[in-house]
Every structure is written in structure tokens, then in C-alpha cells.
Structure 1
């Protein structure tokens, strides 16, 4: 999974999946694509070592996990037959998912905004002898020709961190071949209503599902934006996909496995047994 850690709904910074590097204040306000990009790239550079140390074993060096519930692509079959297919992972992190795609016979390529995450990808390439060609870039400007791929996917990757989400979805459509598949997992949009707390406090709705104001963290010392996350409703995602020429074919909401005791930020068995934490959307280019 990029891939980046699952998103953090707007709450107190001390409940983030990783501790902030400096004192920050949390705000809800509009931010631009440039602000989002300038904040989230360095944020993931700072966090990459801890992320891979904490979650690497769960993800697997050559593994494809769609979310904290542990649903794998081998179980879900979201991407279809990958043998001989050209596949792009947006928000690839250390390339675990893309490496699994290569092991399954696909020609996968990675893309991430974090240089440090891509360094981890190269480290695992060497360790596993399964190399994923990867590039430092953003989801809103994919550095590939039109109709280059059969599949574009993102496992908790870049999409929640992008302000210009319509541009990112259009870019996925542009680089896909006709009939190509676009699939991605995100924090389930209903989670935006709840505090990002893995305990019982995280089961009490505290804000509006329809409030799309981004969650922003600002460095107290510099006044610079240090982290941004964007929220869209399920209806927003359906409209974005349809407007870009996609037909939504599946929506998966993985249930929390009975004996799965892992806590990942706000994801836990306490919450996962009552309310979905992950949404996986699958769409084909018309």
C-alpha cells in the first residue's frame, strides 16, 4: 500500500498516525494544490523511515494490501488478470504493491511525491531482486504519454492529498488505454464524521459528512503548512469518475477480520467491527 499511511480526518494532531516533527496547530481551511504538494512531499520524506519500520512487515516487500483491514489484491481481484499488462501505481511509496504486480506477470511502474519513499523502494528492489522502475512526480501531472497503461491504481496513495482532484482523475484517464481500469483505496468518506481515535471515542460522530473543508496542519514556528488532507463524499467520487469518462463497476467496503488486532492510526477492531474504514473504488474507462 503506498504508499502513504491511511488518511487522518480532521482532529487533534496528537492522534496522527505518526507524531509531528514540530509543534503544529490544526486548522480547517481552503488550500491550493501548490500548498498541498509543498506540505505533503516533505511530510512523507520525514515520515518514510518510521512508516516502513512500523508497517513494512504488514505490507510485505512483495505484497499488495488495499488497507488496514488487510484485504489483499489476491483476495479481492480488483485489477483483474495482470499478466502482460502495463500498470501504473500512483502514490507508490516503497513499491510493495507494484512489486507484487510484477511477480504476478504485470509490467508495473511507480510514482510518488516523496523522494525518501522512493529510496526505500530502491532498497527493497535490491533486497528482493524485483525492481520497480519509479519516478518522483505528482498525480496531477503524470509524466507519461497518452494511452500508456492498461491499469492505473492507488492503494491509500496520492488521491487524498491532492487539492486538484479533478485534474488527477483526468490524468489517470489520459494515460489509460480505452477500456483500461482505474482502482483506488481511500479512507472511507464516512470516517470524516468521526474523531480519528481507534477507541470508543472514535465511534461518536462529531462533524458533518458534507463539510469538505480540508484538514490542515501548520508549523507553529514557521507558519508554513506542513500537512494537508482533502475530503470528498462518495457522491463526489462517483461524479468525478463519471465526468472523466469512467464507469464505476465496483465499490468494496472491507469488513474488519475477526482475529485482526492491528491498530493503525484511527483504524482498529473497536471501530472496524461497526463502521467501514476503507473504500475501494473500481472504474473502467469507457
Structure 2
């Protein structure tokens, strides 16, 4: 089966259902961003530190990678950046287009796969913003390699992703307050389901998520030519029992260092 297109359809459905990650920013946020009072989120609660960005975003070419939904892209455009948003959900991209039209912003949208940026030339972007989205791709290493290819030398990659330990536990039991280790890493949503429930999951157009190793998430960036220069953690905001024990979201700032 084509799992990428399955997730494309599943995210279109999330837009229809009004999932939090598909809700576009309001006009007040855009107005503040135009005045220089802006912030974006790659995880749940913590904003990305402002010192992870250049002092001014005027004219900075930013690729919002698998970042549709009318959230990060419009804010950065309102702050002065030259923004391109790529996503594999057409309805997520429509959220960016809607905000741009509503607020008089210029935001370019591209329907495409985060692991295949062939539509962009080498060393074109100054920055890439990549929220928690690579859990929807089976192999994360091509994502880092393509990010390095399209970034300029010393370009900045800011990424959010999940700590794989989140997937270790039986989710049904966790909802009852019990943390029981059941799954291994790497694995996927489909691996965690009983065989007789897999087709129901697919038929209901729910997303397929992939638990990547920390080695692929962090060393994968390093192997692609990045140097990690920033790191923070975040959680679900107290909605999961595991929040009481450890934070399960990670964000990194990485700089492309081209070796001559």
C-alpha cells in the first residue's frame, strides 16, 4: 500500500475534523507578527526560542517542511520572511492559502513529500522549519539529506520530533493509567495493532505513525551535514500519563556545515 498517500488522505480528514494541528492562526496573531512580536511552535507548549532565528527575517528564504495548517508559515511571512510551505495534505495547504489571502500575505504552497524536494534547487533556502511531522514518514534519513541539499551553507534547520520511548507503551492501558512496555523501536502504528484491527485502522483513514530511533533523528542530521546547536524538550501538556515521568517531544536547531 502507498502509506504516504494514505497519510495525505488522513490529514485531509483531520482538517475536516478540526484537529488542533490544522487550525490556522487568527488575525490578531498575524498583526502582532507584523509588528515584530511573533513566535512559532514546533511541539505543543514551548515556543521556539527567538535566538534560534536571525535578528530580522526580512527577505529570509524559509521552507516550512511538512508544515501546512496555516500556523508557522503565515506567522513567518508576516514577520517578513519569504515563505514556501510544502505538505502532502492539500487541505492543510489550503489553510495557509486562506490565511495568506485573508491577511494580504505572500505564502507559496507546494504539494509534495518531505523526503523528496526535487522541485527545489540546491542551496536555495536560508532556513527550514520542520514541526513534529516526520513521524508520518517511514524513513526519516532522506528527510535530513534533502533538507541539507536545499539549504545554503550555514543554513539553519529547526526541527521538532517525538522521543521514541512514547511508543514503547500499550496505549490502551496508558489511557487507564497503566504504563506497560509492549512495543519495540523502530516500529509503526500498524505494528502495534492486532492483525484483525489493521484493516479497520486503514479503512477509518487514521494516520500511520512511525517511531524512529533517536540515532536516526539526531545522528541522521549530523550524517547529513548538520551540526546541532540547540535542543529543548516539551510534552503533551499533561494529557498523557507519561507526561508525569518524562517529556516526549524534542526540538533541535542545526546548522548546515558544508565541508570543502
Report the TM-score range of the alignment, normalised by the length of the smaller protein. Answer: 0.7 to 0.9
Q: Following TM superposition, by how much is the alpha carbon of 1:221 offset from its aligned partner in structure 2, in angstroms? A: 9.7
Aligned mates of 2:235, 2:138 — CA distance in 1: 29
Aligned mates of 1:155, 1:100 — CA distance in 2: 14
**Alignment partner, residue 4 of structure 2:** 37
TM-score by length of 2: 0.79
Q: Structure 2 unaligned runs (5+)?
A: 31-38
Q: 2:220 aligns with which of 229, 236, 240?
A: 240
1:277 aligns with 2:248: yes
1:88 aligns with 2:68: no
Instruction: Write the deviation string for residues 209-256 of structure 1: whole angstroms up to 9, x where unpaired.
Output: x52122227433987986321112222222211211111112211367
Q: Following TM superposition, by how much is the alpha carbon of 1:196 offset from its aligned partner in structure 2, in angstroms? A: 4.3
**Alignment partner, residue 78 of structure 1:** 52
Aligned mates of 1:215, 1:67 — CA distance in 2: 20
**Alignment partner, residue 110 of structure 1:** 85
Does the CA contact (< 8 Å) of 1:79 and 1:183 recur in 2?
Answer: no
> Which segment drifts farther, 145-154 or 91-100?
91-100
Aligned mates of 2:216, 2:233 — CA distance in 1: 17
Q: Structure 1 unaligned runs (5+)?
A: 1-33, 257-261
Q: Following TM superposition, by how much is the alpha carbon of 1:76 offset from its aligned partner in structure 2, in angstroms? A: 5.1
> Which segment drifts farther, 106-115 or 189-198?
189-198
> Which segment drifts farther, 45-54 or 103-112?
45-54
Instruction: Write the deviation string for residues 142-170 of structure 1: whole angstroms up to 9, x where unpaired.
Output: 1210011011121123x111123221111
SS in 2 for 1:147: coil
Q: 1:211 aligns with which of 168, 185, 198?
A: 185
Instruction: Write the deviation string for residues 119-158 of structure 1: whole angstroms up to 9, x where unpaired.
Output: 222222222222311110111211210011011121123x
1:99 aligns with 2:74: yes
RMSD: 3.0
Query: May I ask how many residue pairs the two structures share in their alignment?
Result: 239
Aligned mates of 1:221, 1:149 — CA distance in 2: 38
**Gap change, CA 1:205 and 1:180, over 3 Å in 2:** farther
TM-score by length of 1: 0.72
> Which segment drifts farther, 160-169 or 188-197?
188-197
**Alignment partner, residue 29 of structure 1:** none
Does the CA contact (< 8 Å) of 2:74 and 2:99 recur in 1?
Answer: no
Q: How does 1:39-78 map to 2 (within 5 A)?
A: 39-51=6-18, 56=23, 60=26, 62=30, 64-68=40-44, 70-73=45-48, 75=49, 77-78=51-52
Aligned mates of 1:165, 1:268 — CA distance in 2: 27
Aligned mates of 2:120, 2:100 — CA distance in 1: 22
- Which structure has the highest helix share of the two? 2
Aligned mates of 1:199, 1:76 — CA distance in 2: 35
